[in-house]
Amino acid sequence: MQAAPSQTTNLPNTDCKDSEVFCGPIRAAELIRPAGQPNVERGRSLNWGKSALLRYAVALLSVEVATLARMQLDPVLGYHSPHATFFLAAIISAGIGGWKPGLLALVLGELVVRWLFMPNVGSFLVGGDVSQWIGSCTYFVVSGAAIGLGEAQRISQRGAETALARLQDEMSERKIAEEERYRLLLELEKERGRLNGILQQSPVGVIIAEFPSGKVLFGNDEAARILRRSSLASLHAGEPSRHWRGFHADGRPYESGEWPLARAITRGETVQDEEIQVEFEEGGRINISVNAAPIEDPEGRVVAGIMTLQDVTEKRRTQARLAAFSQLGQSLSSVRTPLEAARIIGSIAEELLGWDAFSLSLCETEGTRYQRILQVDTIDGKKCELKPYEEKEIPSRMVRILQTGAELILKEEPLELLTDCVPFGDKARASASLMFAPIREQGSGLGVLSIQSYQPRAYDEADLEVLQNLADYCGGALRRIRTEADLAQSNERNRHLFEEVTRQKRQLEQQIAERRQAEKEVHRLNADLERRVRERTQELLVANQELEAFCYSVSHDLRAPLRSIAGFTQAVTEDCGESLPSESQQSLGLVIQATREMDQLIEDLLGLSRLTRSEMKRQSVNLSDCAQEIAAGLGQRDPGRVVEWVIAPDVVVQGDARLLRIALENLLSNAWKFSGKRAQARIEFGVEFQAQGPVYFVRDNGAGFDMTYASRLFTAFQRLHTMAEFPGHGIGLATVQRIIHRHGGHVWPASEVDKGATFYFNLPANMEAFLYE
Amino acid sequence: MSRKFILVVEDNSNHAMLARRAFEKNKMENNLKIVPDGETALKFLFSDEPKPALVLLDLNMPRMDGLEVLRRLRADERTRLVPVVMLTSSNEPEDRQSTLQWGLDGYIRKPVDFGEFVEIIRQLGLYWLRMDDDSEPRE
């Protein structure tokens, strides 16, 4: 048994094999179980000497027998050799029962002898008989010697026996011990098996390391599993492992010797529920809860350390998730925009799962476009929010995720960028671990939440579940945001509506007031206007009446004296025509002539005024036909003249046929009149098309006029030629102008003296601008 | 026995003289009676004096104009059927229309030319004084 402390203290600190490791438990069992004392009874065979009572009974019996024998011999011996038989009795008693029964037999024999077989029977007093004394002495001496001898022999025999027994004892003891050891070994083996079983079956990881080397002697499967090793053999309690690193809760790494087992061994410290975060070399982190204690031998010396460890990663994670989700719920309840929600989801996902890239995209309700609400990628080790953008087409992956649910994609090296993966900012780098979770809300897919890591195998199914939870939270929050937004919008709309209504009401009221004011003003203006119109109308009426009166006076009052002149001149001519000198008769004729001219003048003037007053009728007028007829008329009036007429065909205008005919008549007869002195007279009616529209003209090659006086042409009674040159009243062009003006047109001349004259006029095509209508 | 006559209502004395002369020229001076204004004309016509064969009425007269005289004549039973011809300087169609409206029997524009006027009077005389004049033998 190597459990002896002296041995353990001297154990060399060498690497031990697995087998040695597994011999550990035996020792450990030994250490744990108190060392049992050899408990085998040293069994001794039963003999007489063992019963003192018997031995003393033998003494008494031998004394009895000796007495009886002596009494038989008494008739022979008498008082002679009274002790004879008692010698024997003493010796037998001593022989059988040892020296104490021998001595008892001796004394009893002496007393019996003295009472029965010596003189003074019935008394123990020895008489004076010397022989008696001698006999007694002899008896005592001999018997005593015999007893002593026997005892001496017995003592020596007992010594030999004891030595033998001891030898035998030793031999059997060793054997027993061997057996015992074997049994113990079996038992220990069983115990070890049990213990091993217990330790192996233990739901917690167990590691035992020896003192003082710290070498790990035992580690159960759970410990190996937790620490992700197939074997814990090469571990050392106090030395750092290259497979993992430990961190305190505050993130400080565990120094060498700081591990609980090391502390238990070296300082005898008992560690309870210490939590360590273990980061594995190959990736991944776990949280373990550790208990450690020293193992002491009965003398209180530390011989080893034991450590139990439990993987509390899931527990911590669950706690963290619970806390995170609780916090998430609170945080999300106050967000106002999907972006805020996305940021919160992102930070929680970072806390719970960790990521290198994060994206949250939302589809539109129609599902034809989607928008990245938030996209964060790690660029040069920093998390950068990328500019959100909108895309027209939803990638097939997203469609699939929306339809079939969350996906976990773990890619092995070498990583390749998925063609249809959600493109993150740093496209040069492919995510090794990708998770996608649909954001649903009442069964309909709103969007996709994705986190990705550049580390291979960064996530597992549990993480995907967490992500889906986050996505669900997000969906709820988005619904709330939408609902609130809708509500806010509708509130806002209502508010707007209310404001609008109020504003419009105010506006309406104002408008009503303004309208009233305006109405008042209109009334006032109308009244004013009406008054003014009345006044003006009155004025106009008066003016018209005045004009009428004027025309009347022209036609009547002017004519009346004219008529008198003409009449009386005629009377004088008739009464005394012959008596008057012929010169006077000629003068009277001129007077009458003048009256006729004046009458015509008055008639023309009245005609002009009638033009203004007459009503216009709009119709198509063929000016070419008109001109032809007028030309024919003029030709008939003066058949002697030779005039070349050039009349453009089919000149049709809109206007009042009667008035236009009068205008044309005036122009053509002017042309006729002023070309009268030309041998080769030429009168032209035509149309020129200019930018502003058609321009009609009447041209002659007659006398023409000086354009300096052109402005006077159109004034009534203004003439540029003497009556002797060309007869006329100077009212024709005034009439023309008045007619053209009434049609909304203009008339203008172009002429040079002796080079003929051209009168142009235009008429608005649509004739909407009829004046005076 | 009174003979048929034409009553000329003319405020312009010159014109009245010209009218008389025109009648003379047509040898009808005895068939002529001239009054200077409307009131006089009405007084005469409403009197027991014999009625004229024709009233030549100047339209434009001071105070009561020809139109008013006509209206009153037509309104009165005694003169309702007296023929009236309006004599005026005006050639305005409106004037002519409005006077015809009032039961005028003719409308004559006073010509400036005296010869014309004489001819007009001759025709009037022929029509109103001589036509159907069976009972009155011509002198």
Percent of chain A residues topping a pLDDT of 70? 84
In a domain, A289, yes or no: yes
Same domain, A127 and A242: no
At residue A79, does pLDDT exceed 80?
no
d(CA A612, CA A616): 10
Q: What does the pLDDT read at residue A769?
A: 43
Between A12 and A655, whose confidence is greater? A655
Same domain, A163 and A219: no
Number of domains in chain A: 3
Q: What does the pLDDT read at residue A545?
A: 64
Q: For residue A372, list its beta bridge partners.
A: A361
In a domain, B1, yes or no: no
CB-CB under 8 Å, A603 with B112: no
Mean pLDDT across the stretch A128-137? 77
Summarize pLDDT for A453-505 with one digit per residue, the tens: 877 777 888 888 888 888 888 888 888 887 877 787 788 888 888 888 888 88
Number of domains in chain B: 1
Enclosing domain of residue A304: 202-311
Q: What does the pLDDT read at residue A759?
A: 93
Angstrom distances, CA of residue A568 to CA of A561, A573, A730, B89, B115: 10, 8, 29, 17, 11
**Residue A368, C-beta contacts closer than 8 angstroms, at least 6 positions apart:** A392, A393, A394
Summarize pLDDT for B84-129 with one digit per residue, the tens: 998 887 666 666 777 777 778 888 888 888 888 899 888 888 888 8
Angstrom distances, CA of residue B99 to CA of A180, A380, B60, B96, B104: 175, 116, 12, 5, 6
In a domain, B124, yes or no: no
Q: Which residue of A has its CA nearest to B116?
A: A567
In a domain, A527, yes or no: no
Cα within 13 Å of Cα(A332), Cβ side: 27
Mean pLDDT across the stretch A84-94? 80
Enclosing domain of residue B79: 6-114
Mean pLDDT for all residues in chain B: 83
Test the B interface: residue of A548, A564, A568, A601 with most B CBs within 10 Å: A564
For chains A and B, CB pairs below 8 A equal: 61
Q: Which residue of B has its CA nearest to A609?
A: B92
CB-CB under 8 Å, A596 with B89: no
Same domain, A637 and A715: yes
User: By the CB < 8 Å criterion, does B108 face chain A?
Assistant: no
Summarize pLDDT for A98-126 with one digit per residue, the tens: 778 888 888 888 888 878 777 777 777 76
pLDDT class for A638, splitting at 50, 70, 90? confident
Q: What does the pLDDT read at residue A238?
A: 65
Which of B90, B113, B114 is nearest residue A552 as measured by Cβ atoms?
Answer: B90
Same domain, A209 and A157: no
- List the Cα angle A482/A483/A484 in 5-degree steps: 90
User: By the CB < 8 Å criterion, does B60 face chain A?
Assistant: yes
Chain A residues with CB under 8 Å of B60 CB are 552, 556
At residue A150, does pLDDT exceed 80?
no
In a domain, A364, yes or no: no
Summarize pLDDT for A181-229 with one digit per residue, the tens: 788 788 877 877 777 777 777 788 888 888 877 788 788 888 888 888 8
Reduced 3-state DSSP string for A738-760: HHHHHCCCCEEEEECCCCCEEEE
Reduced 3-state DSSP string for A123-151: CCCCCCCHHHHHHHHHHHHHHHHHHHHHH
Chain A residues with CB under 8 Å of B117 CB are 567
Q: What does the pLDDT read at residue B1?
A: 42
Which of B14, B92, B113 is nearest residue A555 as measured by Cβ atoms?
Answer: B92
Q: Which of B111, B134, B136, B132 is nearest to B121 (CA)?
A: B111
Chain A residues with CB under 8 Å of B114 CB are 566-567, 570-571
In a domain, B78, yes or no: yes
Among the residue ranges A34-38, A120-124, A400-404, B40-44, the one predicted with the least confidence is A34-38
In a domain, A695, yes or no: yes
Our CA-based measurement puts residue B112 at a distance from the nearest CA of chain A, in whole angstroms, of 4
Mean pLDDT across the stretch A406-433? 63
Q: CATH number, domain at B25?
A: 3.40.50.2300
At residue A574, does pLDDT exceed 80?
yes
Q: What does the pLDDT read at residue A188?
A: 74
At residue A18, does pLDDT exceed 80?
no
